[in-house]
Amino acid sequence: MKKLINSPDAVIPDALRGLAAAHPGLNVDVENRIISRAERTPGKVGLVSGGGSGHEPLHGGYVGRGMLDAAAPGEVYTSPVPDQILAATEAADAGAGVLHIVKNYTGDVLNFRMAAELAEDDDVRVVSVVINDDVAVEDSTFTAGRRGVGGTIVAEKVAGAAAEEGADLDTVAQLAREVNERSRSFAIALHAGTVPAAGKPGFELAGNEVEIGVGIHGEPGRQRGEFAPVKDLVGYALDAIHADLPVSGDVLVIMNGQGGTPLIELYGAFAEAADWLQGHGATVARNLVGNYITSLDQAGFSITVTSLTDELVRLWDAPVSTPALRWGV
Amino acid sequence: MKKLINSPDAVIPDALRGLAAAHPGLNVDVENRIISRAERTPGKVGLVSGGGSGHEPLHGGYVGRGMLDAAAPGEVYTSPVPDQILAATEAADAGAGVLHIVKNYTGDVLNFRMAAELAEDDDVRVVSVVINDDVAVEDSTFTAGRRGVGGTIVAEKVAGAAAEEGADLDTVAQLAREVNERSRSFAIALHAGTVPAAGKPGFELAGNEVEIGVGIHGEPGRQRGEFAPVKDLVGYALDAIHADLPVSGDVLVIMNGQGGTPLIELYGAFAEAADWLQGHGATVARNLVGNYITSLDQAGFSITVTSLTDELVRLWDAPVSTPALRWGV
Amino acid sequence: MTLDTATAVAWITRAAEIIRADESRLTGLDAAIGDGDHGANLARGLAAAVTSLEETQPESPGKALMAAGRGLVAKTGGASGPLYGTGFRRAGKELGDGTDATGVGDALEAMLRGIEEIGGAVQGDKTMIDALAPAVAAFQEAAGNGADLHAAAVAAADAAEAGLAATVPLQARKGRASYLGPRSVGHEDPGAASTALIMRALAEVTAP
Amino acid sequence: MTLDTATAVAWITRAAEIIRADESRLTGLDAAIGDGDHGANLARGLAAAVTSLEETQPESPGKALMAAGRGLVAKTGGASGPLYGTGFRRAGKELGDGTDATGVGDALEAMLRGIEEIGGAVQGDKTMIDALAPAVAAFQEAAGNGADLHAAAVAAADAAEAGLAATVPLQARKGRASYLGPRSVGHEDPGAASTALIMRALAEVTAP
Ligand SMILES: Nc1ncnc2c1ncn2[C@@H]1O[C@H](COP(=O)(O)OP(=O)(O)O)[C@@H](O)[C@H]1O
Ligand SMILES: Nc1ncnc2c1ncn2[C@@H]1O[C@H](COP(=O)(O)OP(=O)(O)O)[C@@H](O)[C@H]1O
Ligand SMILES: [Mg+2]
Ligand SMILES: [Mg+2]
Ligand SMILES: [Mg+2]
Ligand SMILES: [Mg+2]
C-alpha cells in the first residue's frame, strides 16, 4: 500500500491539520476532532453532522456559512464517539437548538443518540434526522435499514440554508426529513479503496467484475456484476432508484466519485444519467459532478437523485461558503 | 482496465456531453471540441487555453466568468489541433484581441503557434504566453524547456480577472507572464494513470517506489525514488522548488491531486507543505487543495507555489464562476 | 471466589490483551461482511477501558466495569462501542460490590439486556448477541447447579464459542453485515467473535 | 519513373496502412520515453491525410502532398502533427507538378528543412530528424549517382532505419523524451521510427 500519509495512525490528525491550514475561517480542534465555524450567529439553529473519516470532503468540508456549524469525524470508516459529538453539538449551539444529521448506520445512530442524551442533560435541545437514501439496501425488518449516503449532502445544504434564514429547529429538521424522503442513491464500484490501517483493499474484484450496490465503507455490495459500459452501469443504478421512487419533474443529481475516479469519467457518467433521466421524463434542474462523498481511493460512482420543489431549489441555490461547496458568496 | 467509459474512443465526446449537461451556462461544441462562455463582453480581451484531455478539470472546467473564454481539449494527453484552437480563438474574440495561455510542450506550442497565425490572417490579434513552471525539468538548451503545469491555473485566474476588469491585451498577457515567472511546481506519483486507448498504466512502479518529478502525461519522471512518508515527499518537492526560486513572503499554494488520490491524503500533504513553508519563512496566504490539474487516475500530488504581490492577491480573490473554481458570485 | 475489584480489573485487562493479540483476525472477519474495523475499534476501546481503570482506581468491581464501559463508549466508536460500553456499564451497575457466581450471572444478564435494548437485535440476527445470549444462559445454568465462578465462566466461554460457530450459516439482520443480504451467509460474525474472546478472558482470570 | 500524382497518393495511402499496422509498436516506443500516443496520433493523422486526398482529388503530386500535410495538421495534434504536416506541405510546394528522383530529393530536403525550422531540432537530438536527415542525404546521393526513384527511395528507407537504430544510445534534447534526461537513453525514438516507416512506404510504392 502506497499512500500520501505519514503513518496509518496519523492520517486523520494530519488531514485535520491540513484542513485547518487551508481554511483559516474554520476552527479545527485536531486533538478532539471537531471542525466548527469560527463564528456563531446567536439564535440560529445549529447543524451538526459526523461519521467515519475517509469520505472527504464529507463532513468537515461542509462546515461553513449555509451548511454545517460543526462536524465530528471518527476514525476511518468508524462513527465518532459520543463525547466528540457532544462537543460538536455544544460548539454549534447558539441558543436555538441543534439538528443532528445522522447517516443510518448502527454505529452512527447509537453514538449520536448517546450524544443527544448528554446534550439534553446540558439543556441543549437536539433533534436528530436520520438519512437513509441508499436503495441498494432493502429497508425491511431484516436489515439495519437503508444506509445514508449522498442525500446527506443535500439535506445539509437545504437545512443549512433554512437555518441561515432563521428558521426554527423543527422547521429545519422537517426540511432535512423532506430531503431524505425525496432522495435516493445507488453506487457501483470498480475497485475497493484501501483503509490505511488495513493496508489492502476492502474487497478484491477480477478484471471483469464490478461491485453493485456498494456503500461508502468499502463493504462489499449486494452482488457482483459484470463490468459494462458506463451507460449500462448508470442505467442499472437509475433503474434501481426509479423502481423505488419514480423520477419525474425537476431533479437534483449528484454524480459522485468514490475518491479514485477521475473527473473525465464522472462527466461521461453524468452525460449518461442526464440522457436516461430525460428519457424518463425528468429534468436535471441542478447538479453536482465530482467527489463529494467518497470511500478513500475507491474507484466508482454513486448517483443521488433528489426530487425538487421550488422551495428546495431556492434553498439549494442560497449562498454557501464551505471548503467543498461555495457559491453566491 | 476498468473505467467508467463507453469505449476508449468515446471518452472525450462523452465527457463533453456531460460538461454541457452539467453547465448550461457554457457552450460546448462536442463535435469540434470547443468549450466557450455563452456570452461575450464586447471589448473584453478573450482568454483561450487548451491542451490534451485527461487533466480535468483543466481546461474546460476553467471556462467562465473571471477565467477563460474558451478552451480546446485535444485527445487524451495530446495537444489540440490548429483549426480547433482557431475556432476557440474566434469564439473568445470580442474585439480586443485574444490571449493564448499555452503550456510548454512541443505539441502545444506548435499547434497554438499555427492557430495564432491562422487567427492573425483573420485579423484577430493574438498574444501567446507559454507557461513553464515545472522545476523537475532542467531549463537548458538540452531540453524542450520546462513543462507547464499547475501555474497555468494561477495564470488563467489572474489574467482572467484582469480581462474581466477591462485590462488590455498587453496588460493581461503581462500578468500571465508575471504569474509564470513567480510560479514553480513539482510532482511525485505513486501509481501511473491509464490512458483508455492504451489500457495499461503509463509506467509500472514496485510497491516501494515512487516516480519523482513526473509531468501530467503519465510520462516517467526524471528518477525513481523510494516510497517515503508524505512529509518527506512534500519536503523533497518543496526543496526542489525552493532551490530554483527561494520561497518567501506571501505565497499561493496549490496542493493538487493527480486524479486518483483522495482528498484526505491531499489535506495531509497540505499540512506538511504549510509547515515546511512556515519553517522557511513564507506564509500561505491563499491555497487550493484538491484535483485541479490531473493525469487521469494517476495517484500522487503536485505542488505549485506562486509568490504573491498585493495585486496578484486582489486578482486571485476577484469573482470567478467556472465549473471548477467559484467564489464571489 | 467472588468477582472482586481486582478480578474485574483483571478481566478487562486480559480482554484488552487478547483482543489486541487477535485484532487482525477480528478485522479480517469484519472486512469479509462489514467494514474491516472491528479489531481496531475494540483494541482501541479496551485500551481506553484499561486506562480508565488505571485513572479511576475503582473501589468496587461494579465501579470497575462501569468505568470500563465509559472508557469503551468514549473511544471505540462504531456500533460495538456503544453496545459493549452500555453492556459493561449495565453489568457494573448490577454487580455492585462484588458477588459470587449467581450474582455475576445476573450482571452478565444485565449486560445482555442492555445490548439488546439499545441495539434492538435478537438471537439469530448474526450479532454479538448470538455469542452473548448462550454464554449468559450457560453461565447461569452452571451457577444454578452450584458451579463456582471459574467453572461458570468456562461454561460461558465455551457456549460463546459455540454461539460464534453457529453464526456462520446465518444471514445478518443487524449491523453493516445486513447490507450484504444473502452474501453475509458463510462467515463468522466479528462481534460474536469478540464476545467469545471477552468471555474467554473472564474464564482465564477466574482460574484458581 | 517520376513521382506522379498517383504515386504521391499511393505513398500517403501506404504510409497510413503501415503506420496503422505498426501503431502499437510506435505507441510502445512513445510510452517508454514519452506519453504513449505517437502511434494513435499518426494513425489518426494519416487516415485524415488519406481522406483529405479522397476529398480534394489533387491534380498534381505537389498538391497531393500539400493536401496530405493539411490533413495531418488538422487531425494529428501533439508534436508530430505540425512537424509532419509542415514537412509534407513544404515537400509538396517544392515538388510541384511531379518530377524525377533529383526533384524528389529536393522535395524531401524541403520537408527536412521545414521540420527543422518549426521544431528547432538538429541531428543528434533524438527526434525524427535523426531518421529523416540521413534518409534525405542517402536519397540525394543515390539520385546524384543516377539512381532511379525507387532505388533512391530504398536507399533513403535503409538510411532512415539506420538513423532510427542510431537514436538508441542518444539522450533526447527535444520533445517530451527530453524531460527524462539520462533516462531517455537506451530507447528508439518513436518519431524516428515513424519516419523510417514513411520512407519505407515510399520505397514500396515506387517499386517497378
Ligand atoms: N444492532 C446490533 N445489535 C447487536 N450487535 C450489533 C448490532 N449491530 C452490530 N452489531 C455487532 O457489532 C459488530 C460490528 O462492530 P464494529 O465493526 O466495531 O462496528 P461497525 O459495524 O460500526 O463498523 C457486528 O459484528 C455485530 O456483532
Ligand atoms: N522539436 C522537435 N523536432 C523534431 N521532432 C520532434 C520534436 N519534438 C518531438 N519530435 C518528434 O515527435 C515525436 C513524438 O510525437 P508525438 O508522440 O506524436 O507527439 P507528443 O510528443 O506531443 O506526444 C518524438 O518521438 C520526436 O521524434
Ligand atoms: Mg465501522
Ligand atoms: Mg502527446
Ligand atoms: Mg466494523
Ligand atoms: Mg507522444
Q: Do B213 and B176 belong together in one domain?
A: no
Task: Tell me, yes or no, whether A324 lies in a domain.
Answer: no
pLDDT by position in tens, chain A (length 329): 899 999 999 999 999 999 999 999 999 999 999 999 999 999 999 999 999 999 999 999 999 999 999 999 999 999 999 999 999 999 999 999 999 999 999 999 999 999 999 999 899 999 999 999 999 987 666 677 899 999 999 999 999 999 999 999 999 999 999 999 999 999 999 999 999 988 889 889 999 999 999 999 987 787 899 999 999 999 999 999 999 999 999 999 999 999 999 999 999 999 999 999 999 999 999 999 999 999 999 999 999 999 999 999 999 999 999 999 999 99
Compute and round to an integer the Cα radius of gyration of chain A. 19
Maximum separation of any 2 CA atoms in chain B, in Å: 55
Residue D18 lies inside a defined structural domain of this protein: yes
pLDDT tens-digit profile of D5-44? 999 999 999 999 999 999 999 999 998 998 889 999 999 9
In a domain, C208, yes or no: no
> How many other CB atoms are found less than 10 A from the CB of residue D169?
10
Q: Chain A residue with minimal CA distance to B190?
A: A2
Does any domain span residue C149?
yes
Check whether residue A41 and residue A102 sit in a common domain.
yes
Cell of C98: 462484588
Residues A110 and A194 in one domain: no
d(CA C96, CA C90): 10
D206 CB near ligand 2 (under 6 Å)? no
The reply to whether C49 falls in a domain is yes
Chains that touch B (3 or more CB pairs under 8 A): A, D
Read off the C-alpha cell for D129.
Answer: 530528424
**CATH code of residue A70:** 3.40.50.10440
**Residues of chain B with C-beta less than 8 angstroms from the C-beta of D173:** 141-144
User: Which pLDDT does position A141 carry in this prediction?
Assistant: 64
Query: Are B149 and B199 within one domain?
Result: no
Question: Whose atoms come closest to the Cα of C79: which ligand?
Answer: 1
How many whole angstroms from D80 Cα to the centroid of ligand 2?
5
B282 in the same domain as B308: yes
How many angstroms separate the CA atoms of A27 and C150, rounded? 52
- Does the annotation mark A280 as catalytic? no
In DSSP notation, A218-257 reads: S---SEEEE---HHHHHHHHHHHHHHHS---EEEEEEEEE
Closest to C36 (Cβ–Cβ): which among A110, A147, A198? A198
In a domain, A3, yes or no: no
Residue A237 lies in a domain: yes
| D158 inside domain | yes
D208 found inside a domain: no
D13 within domain boundaries: yes
Q: Which domain holds residue D70?
A: 5-203
Q: Answer whether residue B173 is part of any domain.
A: yes
For residue C64, being part of any structural domain is answered with yes
Q: Which of residues 146-175 of B touch D (CB under 8 A)?
A: 147
Same domain flag for A13 and A142:
yes
Q: Which of A308, A68, A66, A276 is nearest to A181 (CA)?
A: A308
Q: Provide the residue type at D106 as one letter.
A: D
Q: Is residue A226 part of a domain?
A: yes
Report residue A103: phi and psi, to 5°.
-80, 145
Task: Count how many Cα atoms sit within 13 Å of the Cα of residue B272 in the half-sphere of its side chain.
Answer: 25
Pair A65, A329: CB distance under 8 Å: yes
How many independent structural domains does chain C possess? 1
Cβ contact, residue pair C74, A81, below 8 Å = yes
The predicted complex's ipTM stands at 0.94
Q: Tell me whether residue B277 is in a domain.
A: yes
Q: Cβ contacts of residue C152 below 8 Å, gap of 6+? A: C101, C104, C105, C138, C139, C140, C142, C143
Per-residue pLDDT of D115-146, as tens digits, reads: 999 999 999 999 999 999 999 999 999 999 99
Whether B244 is in a domain gets the answer yes
Give the list of residues 6+ apart from residue A231 with CB closer than 8 angstroms, or none. Answer: A272, B6
Q: Are A78 and A48 in contact (CB under 8 A)?
A: no
- Considering the domain architecture, whether residues A210 and A308 belong to the same structural domain is answered as yes
Closest approach of chain D CAs to the CA of B144, in angstroms? 5
Identified catalytic residue from A23, A55, A191, A242? A55
Residue list, ligand 1 pocket, CB within 6 Å: A 78-79, 106-107; C 30, 34-35, 37-38, 41, 78-80, 83, 115, 119-121, 127-129, 174-176, 189-192
Answer whether C78 sits within 8 Å of A142, measured CB to CB.
no
Active site amino acids of B: 55, 217
Residue A217 bears catalytic tag: yes
A204: number of Cβ within 10 Å: 11
Contact A78 C176 (CB under 8 A): no
Give the pLDDT of residue C22. 97
Q: Tens digits of per-residue pLDDT, C28-57?
A: 999 899 888 999 999 999 999 999 999 999
Does pLDDT of B142 surpass 70? no
- Which of A141, A160, A182 terminates a domain? The answer is A182
Q: Which is the catalytic residue, given A23, A59, A191, A217?
A: A217
Residues B68 and B109 in one domain: yes
Q: Which of B154, B182, B210 is the last residue of a domain?
A: B182
Q: B227: domain CATH number? A: 3.30.1180.20
Kindly list the residues from chain A whose CB atom is less than 8 angstroms away from the CB atom of residue C44. 75
Q: Nearest CB to B78: which of D41, D83, D183?
A: D41
The rounded distance, in Å, linking the Cα atoms of D157 and D202 is 8
Cβ pair A40, A94 in contact under 8 A: yes
* Same domain for A139 and A125: yes
Please tell me the total count of domains within chain A. 2
Per the structure, the complete domain to which residue B84 belongs is given by: 8-182
B201 chain-A contacts, CB cut-off 8 A: none
Question: Is a pLDDT exceeding 80 seen at residue B138?
Answer: no
- Cis peptide upstream of residue B100 (ω within 30 degrees of 0): no
The residue among B163, B182, B201 that closes a domain is B182
Pair A131, A67 in one domain: yes
Q: Determine, yes or no, domain membership for A328.
A: no
Give the domain CATH number at D87.
1.25.40.340
Q: Are residues B31 and B156 in the same domain?
A: yes
Asked whether the beta carbons of residue B4 and residue A207 sit closer than 8 angstroms, the reply is no
Q: Is A191 on the interface with C (CB under 8 A)?
A: no
A166/A204 same-domain check: no
